Structure 1
Amino acid sequence: MSYMVMGVSGSGKSTVGKLLAQRLGLHFIDADDHHLAPSVEKMSQGIPLTDEDRQAWLQKLNHLLLEAERTNQEVVLACSALKEQYRQVLRQNLTLPLKIIYLHGEERVLRHRMRSRQGHFMKDVLLASQLATLEIPADALRVDITHPPEQIVEQIIQFTTAMHPSSTTGTTASFGIIGLGVMGKSLALNLAGKGITVGVYNRTVPGVEEKVAERFAEEHPQQPLVPFSDMDRFVQALEKPRRILLMVKAGKPVDLLLEQLHPLLEEGDLVMDGGNSHYLDTNRRTIEMHNHRLHFLGVGISGGEEGALKGPSLMPGGEREGYQKVADLLEKLAARDQRGVPCCTYIGPQGAGHFVKMVHNGIEYAEMQALAEAYQLLRFHLNFSPAAIAEEFTAWQSSGLNSYLLEITIAILQKQEDGGLLLDKILDAAEQKGTGGWSTTAALDLGASLDPIAAAVMARYLSAQKEQRVQAAALYGILPEQLVGVPLLHAQQLRQAYEAVRLINHAVGFELIRQASRQYLWHLNLSEIARIWTNGCIIRSELMEELTELLQEETPLLQHPRVVERMSGLLLAFKETVAAGLKANAAQPVFSSALNYFLGYTTAQSPANLIQAQRDFFGAHTFRRVDQPLDQSFHVEW
């Protein structure tokens, strides 16, 4: 096999290609050395090359590859090879396979590299044209350029080893994944694309699930995927200590798999649960696996299918020793924050990882509901068209409110089908998988307030009662054509109200994590949790970037000076928005519950003393007095 290291200028093709050739003992060809003089002159002047300019150069490189093949030489070619038609010219008449390694990097990183190097004819002004021209090959081994060249070469060599495993060791995979649903497949391709050999296993159900792993590997022949339908063979094929990720449905299926697995494993092996398991189940499983002298991690994974493939946010919790055994691979799997640091960190012991993922999903529920309420006010009460709402939301993006959920909401508002808005054809009955409800239950268990998140969960339950809602709307005369406008409400006020809701939603979510950390003695780092939520996950946003800094202090978010100043400026518009919406018959469960929470939170003297007096009156539950030590309780005969 020969190799072609490809990518745009600044990706490090020459450096990586030369190192790879040295490690494998192969002949190295740097395509930059073979450009024709007129082409070098054009690029030196910042003028992009045309397809015609490149033709003679590509044919020359193809001739060099054919000559190497004629003399039985395997080679490493470093070449931009931006288009598929260029790669076809390079491969013309070759009989040996030419494995493509694509070096991927973000534009800002590439531009910085190009500006830093000296004496190269390729100017950074040409980067934009190269990126526009680039056609990424589907069969390439994709490697992130943020890694050092030596590490990139090591990934490539691991890949080649996986393609030709040793028959004497019996070991073919560095990492194992059980369960090849959408997420399991995407995670496997993520790691495999980085040169990690992945063993993949899926159960067999006759007539329903057969040869799932084998077909998956066949669909991706260029990736280091080793398929299994036999559990024993799968386990035996993994490097020791074994590292296995379960991507199966939460609940009983996880327990059944662990019962099947632990007799096949050896002391020190590691099993991870990447599903949305309840954190109390993860607490129990950690103890059970420890009793078998095995490590267990509950790994929260956020990002959906795209995140799993390109880089999710990972929240591993359990024994620190277990995390240390797999940290290198999880960090390769994860997304990167603005500084290039993996969006993965050791969360804490027991079920801390799954607890944090549960709260992530709770915040997500409230964020989605808040956007839905803003959309409802804009469209049905302020008479904005869907296109105008998309335009308004786009303006919000540039005012500090940008987030992944806002981005996808704009895209949804622009999606047409058969000449009409697709959104209008979707039934207004929201579904859920349970994690939002778990957050609410956890808040009750921990004695924490979670108003906007709990309201978002209940709003989904209520939305599911479609038939009753339609009947009730008719009975009370609150029909779409009879909705009340709110002419005194402006979109700018709604934007400010939405900003306030988001601050409160994130504040209550992180306070729940703080409460759990204290009660369970987990010692969680809230700032680090916010950091790993800045990329890869569903609730990534500009606000999360800011929270990474604010949460470095112990001060509750709503008492941080920066947040106090901001909320003080937003409060009037927030109250006017909720009041106007309710007068117009617009249900605002998250907006109104967030406002109620904030007003209650900022009330120095609440009416709760009356409640405590009532409790003592009918049940002798006692009360504390403001004029006596607070550790004393009192009861009176009312």
Structure 2
Amino acid sequence: MNKVIFIMGVSGCGKSTIGTLLAEELSIPFFDGDDFHPKENIKKMASGQPLNDEDRQGWLETLNTLATQQLAKNSCVIVCSALKQTYRDILSLDIKARTKWVFLSGSFNEIFIRANARKDHFMPSELLQSQFDTLEEPQNAFKVDVSLTPEQIIKKIKNKLMNTSEFGLFGLGVMGKSLCRNLANNGFKIAMFNRHVDGVEVDVAKNFKAEHPELSEAAAFDNISAFVNALETPRKIMLMVNAGKTIDYVIEDLLPHLSVGDILIDGGNSNYKKTKERFEYLKSKGIHFIGTGVSGGEEGALKGPSIMPSGDQEAYNNVKPFLEKISAKDQNNLPCCTYVGPEGSGHFIKMVHNGVEYVEMQLLAEVITILEASGHNLDEIANILETWKNTANSYLLEITIDILRTKECNDWLVKKILDKAGNKGTGNWTTIASAELGVPSTLIASALFARYTSFYKEERIQLHANFKSETISGLQLSSTEILEAYQFARIINHYQGFKLIAEASDKFSWNLNLSEIARIWTNGCIIRSTLMEALVEVFKETTNILTNSQLITSIKHYKPSVKKVVSQCVLNDITVSCLGESIQFFNGITTVDSSANIIQAQRDYFGAHTYKRNDDDGVKSHHTIWNKTN
């Protein structure tokens, strides 16, 4: 990755000399910031007047433009006094992650002698004191003592810049390894860490490096101190370890080795509440924390996942070039990575992503069950699903077709898989979050509980014997009707998922952009689909997809099919948890006068909880003594 190296310090510290030598050593272009001062600035300094911030503004912006243009072609060296942090912020605007700072430091007397020795410079040495008064020493710069010889200084700078890694990855599980290869394939110099456990995990990072040629320039460690010290500052470390307490243990292990301004990125499936806690805790230590959802599985992590970072926006700007470069690209070749919002919002939307994923998987499982009950074998079902790609394509549909076509010993492999569905907790968290926020994400709960039910295999066998089902009427369904029922349920699923995100955004003041979230889910992630692509445009107009005219038309068209499919499944004792819930929820959310008035009357009867009335616009609370005999 191209870099701009800013050599900074007060006038007379030797910036131009060091900059010129360094550029020659690295064979990259050199620019002296003084050459870009407007005539008015030079005239003012020559008259003995120091420049003010207004004088410098345009000059600094010019140098930022120069750096940005050069980065498109090559690395470069620019020398500039850059005495204040605000000046450095302007110089590095939009290129912060690709900016390296070298601070040439020395005493006033030492530099005053040097300044007096210069010939034909427009700034008199008398102004040096004003520069020392203005100087705000940078936190994230490589500091070099000007008392060293130029050759020594160049050697130090070169060793620091050339022998450190740009990005660190902590934890080499399946996802961590794929992300390392992805980063290396995209030209980043990385450091990799995996713990050492005698007899269990030994030389994991070194062995992994040896297995893949693209990692030849990567640095491999099993010592935390060496790993952290191998990274350029501010350090950028992505944690790819198990969610939960492990993250906290890793943070505590890293903290003694980190410096103020360093950045930790949690790329695991952490609970969004814990991410907020860790964000605040690390903020008190001067460390930035970015909670980041990553979707795509092993293949996505290698070839380009969907990435959902949140936290401090300025810290994100430091890691943006890395995350955006390794992410998947949408249909317009834009990265499927965006700054989501503050605190734990990135992990929240990843949690909801996984909840939507639970439903999409369950719906396909139900569809296959229905098609089997209709008399089709798995090869025939795969062929039917293949035709659905024209109108309902998705990543999960594609892999399900592959699964149905995979055989072992002339029989379908999926038939040999024990029907106990696992989960890692995110569906559970999504259901809990829905309850806490008062949002009816009923399909996610149904998909979750379907998995829980599947785990009671022994009890299911016993109860099947007690309540053996009998086919009553037989299924009389076309594949088109099943497809339309599937499409209906998928729209309701996406409505509920994005409704939950919208409600959380309002509740926590996150200001989430639903269209942008849908966009980064159009590629690289498990729930990418043609429906998701359509939602990118829908969410530019509304936060409620059931108010979109095209989706209203689709729902009306699909509704008869889902009613027929669910009804016939119920009559034939076929379990369709999510298909059934989709129409039940839809009927509930579109009912003007619900049965909740009965619930309110019951609550008032036994608990005096009061109720509102239709005939006074629900303004007052009322209570009735229902049993007049008491």
| TM-score (norm: length of structure 1) | 0.73
2:298 is matched by which residue type in structure 1?
A: E
Q: How does 1:320-469 map to 2 (within 5 A)?
A: 320-379=313-372, 381-398=373-390, 400-469=391-460
Q: Offset at 1:325? A: 1.1
The alignment status of 1:205 with 2:197, answered yes or no, reads yes
2:167 is matched by which residue type in structure 1?
A: F
1:297 and 1:319 in contact (8 A); partners too: yes
CA distance in 1, matches of 2:476, 2:271: 46
Matched with 2:108 is none
CA distance in 1, matches of 2:599, 2:240: 47
Matched with 2:577 is 589
Q: How does 1:63-82 map to 2 (within 5 A)?
A: none
1:496-530 CA distance string (max 9 Å, x none): 00000000000000000000000000000000000
Q: Offset at 1:169? A: 5.2
Matched with 1:579 is 567
| Structure 1: 5+ residue stretches without partners | 1-22, 26-147, 159-164
1:312 and 1:536 in contact (8 A); partners too: yes
Q: SS of the residue aligned with 1:627?
A: helix
1:297 and 1:318 in contact (8 A); partners too: yes
Q: How does 1:19-38 map to 2 (within 5 A)?
A: none
Matched with 1:285 is 278
Q: How does 1:165-204 map to 2 (within 5 A)?
A: 167=159, 171-204=163-196
2:475 and 2:569 in contact (8 A); partners too: no
Matched with 2:625 is 637
2:221 to 228, 232, 252: 228
Matched with 2:512 is 524
Q: Offset at 1:222? A: 4.0
1:276-332 CA distance string (max 9 Å, x none): 000000010000011011110110000000000000000001111111111111100
CA distance in 2, matches of 1:353, 1:168: 33
CA distance in 2, matches of 1:215, 1:322: 32
Q: Offset at 1:636? A: 1.4
2:193 and 2:224 in contact (8 A); partners too: yes
Q: Percent identity?
A: 46
Q: SS of the residue aligned with 1:244?
A: strand
CA distance in 2, matches of 1:517, 1:215: 44
2:251 is matched by which residue type in structure 1?
A: L
- The 3 A distance-change label for structure 1 pair 342 and 485 is farther
CA distance in 2, matches of 1:195, 1:555: 39
CA distance in 2, matches of 1:416, 1:258: 45
2:165 is matched by which residue type in structure 1?
A: A
Q: Offset at 1:220? A: 2.1
CA distance in 1, matches of 2:601, 2:271: 38
Matched with 1:7 is none
Matched with 1:254 is 247
Matched with 1:562 is 550
CA distance in 2, matches of 1:278, 1:610: 37
CA distance in 2, matches of 1:563, 1:521: 28
The alignment status of 1:268 with 2:261, answered yes or no, reads yes
Q: SS of the residue aligned with 1:632?
A: coil
1:114-160 CA distance string (max 9 Å, x none): xxxxxxxxxxxxxxxxxxxxxxxxxxxxxxxxxx99759779xx9xx
CA distance in 2, matches of 1:418, 1:152: 56
Corresponding pairs, count: 481
1:518 is matched by which residue type in structure 2?
A: D
CA distance in 2, matches of 1:266, 1:361: 34
| Higher mean C-alpha deviation, range 169-178 or range 197-206 | 169-178
1:432-482 CA distance string (max 9 Å, x none): 00101110000000000011111000000000101111111111123xxx5
CA distance in 1, matches of 2:198, 2:158: 32
Matched with 1:624 is 612
CA distance in 2, matches of 1:495, 1:222: 44
Q: Offset at 1:171? A: 4.0
Q: How does 1:88-167 map to 2 (within 5 A)?
A: 167=159
2:573 is matched by which residue type in structure 1?
A: N
Larger radius of gyration: 2
CA distance in 2, matches of 1:279, 1:152: 40
2:475 and 2:572 in contact (8 A); partners too: no
The alignment status of 1:295 with 2:288, answered yes or no, reads yes
Report the RMSD for the aligned CA atoms in angstroms. 2.0
CA distance in 1, matches of 2:624, 2:170: 63
Q: SS of the residue aligned with 1:234?
A: helix
1:583-634 CA distance string (max 9 Å, x none): 1110110001111100001101101011001000000111111112434211
Q: SS of the residue aligned with 2:616?
A: coil
CA distance in 2, matches of 1:577, 1:210: 55
1:366 and 1:453 in contact (8 A); partners too: yes
CA distance in 2, matches of 1:582, 1:149: 67
2:514 and 2:543 in contact (8 A); partners too: no
Matched with 2:46 is none
1:304 to 271, 280, 297: 297
CA distance in 2, matches of 1:384, 1:439: 35
CA distance in 2, matches of 1:377, 1:225: 51
CA distance in 1, matches of 2:184, 2:305: 15
Matched with 1:218 is 210
| Structure 2: 5+ residue stretches without partners | 1-25, 29-68, 77-97, 99-156
Matched with 2:14 is none
CA distance in 2, matches of 1:555, 1:271: 32
1:395 is matched by which residue type in structure 2?
A: T
2:625 is matched by which residue type in structure 1?
A: E
CA distance in 2, matches of 1:377, 1:367: 15
- The 3 A distance-change label for structure 1 pair 485 and 432 is farther
1:520 is matched by which residue type in structure 2?
A: F
2:461 to 464, 470, 494: 470
1:213-266 CA distance string (max 9 Å, x none): 111111124423110111111111101111000000000010011112122111
1:171 and 1:236 in contact (8 A); partners too: no
CA distance in 1, matches of 2:160, 2:364: 58
2:175 and 2:298 in contact (8 A); partners too: yes
- The 3 A distance-change label for structure 1 pair 590 and 393 is same
2:473 and 2:571 in contact (8 A); partners too: no
1:565 is matched by which residue type in structure 2?
A: T
| Higher mean C-alpha deviation, range 211-220 or range 543-552 | 211-220
- The 3 A distance-change label for structure 1 pair 555 and 173 is closer
Q: SS of the residue aligned with 1:317?
A: strand
Matched with 1:506 is 494
1:376-421 CA distance string (max 9 Å, x none): 0000x200111110111011111x2000000000001100101111
